[in-house]
Structure 1
């Protein structure tokens, strides 16, 4: 084989190799897209099915007392109620957490008000890139500026109502201040606390500790009843969640 022929053969081999690599890359991209779509459909479709089949409750009246715990969590429980304990790990930027609050949040609140469960909210951060990282950090730090009471829950729910898309910057400091005041927060230091992000590092430390404990290693929302994780099929079905909590009290 002459030199010219060898060069042509080499070019053809290189061309064929590049084409194989292109096809492989295309297949990987398609697989990734398909996987992402399946996951999104599972979350959205599953959440919708649970909403329809579980029938969300309506709030029955006043909330159980809400207080800030020494470890940085927020407790909602009637005096003397110590079990069962429902731990809720949530991220204000997480769409599934918003869906949970809309679907099963009223059940949790009603049961706490009835003295049937002690609820412990753990606001955590699962996002690591912008704009979601900044969004969730600002919201979580702002929530720490609310000194408990029903105002905390009103603010908590308002943040979810205003949750921005994951691709957009949201939870602006001025908005967080305004939502807090709308929620009934009257503390004179609230605005400065939010705008200075006073508790941003405290929140980061809390999040790190919770993550290291693997309390929410499967993501958010994660619900634990007396320390044992509850499957999402129960968490997103209000009637099933209610019965599970009642069973744990026996």
Structure 2
């Protein structure tokens, strides 16, 4: 997140101010949660392109940008969607469950690429208190391996069948490495995850993504959020993937 630019020297905070700030934090979290709940209430729950699976065309590549964005698609694709997600976000899991396979087919056919921007505002809602950040680091480890279908499968599993429940237990780094191996990643990727090679960069990238999301949504960040050419997509429109792939 961006830091305050004020040059004011902080003074000791009174207990009343502390309670007020705590209340404000609850309100901010409530806004985010409310946005998620509202998303859950919208649209149907029919799985689109059920049975297609994650991207599996060998020509699909994955690249890790310098700002931490993970780009999945075929070379030369003219349209890219930006997808902001938190690995622990239930609504993000629902979006992946309903639309993930439709997105995968559009990626395989070269109609779109996906730029994943992962955030970690739900760290505190995980059993380990840092699951979102560790899951982002694992995503980066898999992405830097360069195999598009492997990353696509790993991302799909992490947001659907393997997604932990918010407020409950979560995956250890060894378990995240095992999921990566199940997706087809090699030993070097597994070591990257278990050795926490990208822990610090993942946290920095998550903060940068959160800043970008706040700027795009006037400081009312909510996940999942999808953008095309800087314009927010209504993911309650069940045909949004088809529209994006035109």
Which TM-score band (shorter chain)?
0.7 to 0.9
Tell whether the 8 Å contact from 2:100 to 2:156 is kept in structure 1 after alignment.
no
**Alignment partner, residue 227 of structure 2:** 224
Structure 1 residues 41 and 118: alpha-carbon distance in aligned structure 2, compared to 1, 3 A threshold: closer
Structure 1 residues 38 and 144: alpha-carbon distance in aligned structure 2, compared to 1, 3 A threshold: closer
Offset at residue 180 of structure 1 (A): 1.2
Higher Cα Rg, which structure: 1
> What secondary structure is seen at the aligned counterpart in 2 of 1:224?
strand
**Alignment partner, residue 21 of structure 1:** none
Structure 1 residues 113 and 169: alpha-carbon distance in aligned structure 2, compared to 1, 3 A threshold: same
Cα distance in structure 2, aligned partners of 1:102 and 1:134: 24
Tell whether the 8 Å contact from 1:135 to 1:169 is kept in structure 2 after alignment.
no
- Paired residue for 1:101, among 86, 96, 101? 96
Offset at residue 103 of structure 1 (A): 0.8
> What secondary structure is seen at the aligned counterpart in 2 of 1:122?
strand
Q: Does residue 51 of the first structure (1) align with residue 45 of the second (2)?
A: yes
Cα distance in structure 2, aligned partners of 1:219 and 1:175: 28
Cα distance in structure 1, aligned partners of 2:69 and 2:35: 30
Structure 1 residues 75 and 171: alpha-carbon distance in aligned structure 2, compared to 1, 3 A threshold: same
Cα distance in structure 2, aligned partners of 1:41 and 1:131: 18
**Alignment partner, residue 3 of structure 2:** none
**Alignment partner, residue 92 of structure 1:** 87
Structure 1 residues 130 and 119: alpha-carbon distance in aligned structure 2, compared to 1, 3 A threshold: closer
Tell whether the 8 Å contact from 2:210 to 2:221 is kept in structure 1 after alignment.
no
Cα distance in structure 1, aligned partners of 2:36 and 2:226: 20
Q: Does 122-131 or 155-164 show the bigger shift?
A: 122-131
Q: Does residue 179 of the first structure (1) align with residue 179 of the second (2)?
A: yes
Tell whether the 8 Å contact from 2:36 to 2:91 is kept in structure 1 after alignment.
no
**Alignment partner, residue 18 of structure 2:** none
Offset at residue 36 of structure 1 (A): 11
**Alignment partner, residue 27 of structure 1:** none
TM-score normalised by the chain length of structure 2: 0.73
Listed as ranges, the gaps of 5+ residues in structure 1 are 1-34
Cα distance in structure 2, aligned partners of 1:159 and 1:191: 15
Matched residue pairs, number? 203
Offset at residue 65 of structure 1 (A): 1.1
Offset at residue 39 of structure 1 (A): 6.8
Q: Deviations over 1:35-69 (max 9, x none)?
A: 999877644332xx4224xx511328734512223
RMSD: 2.6
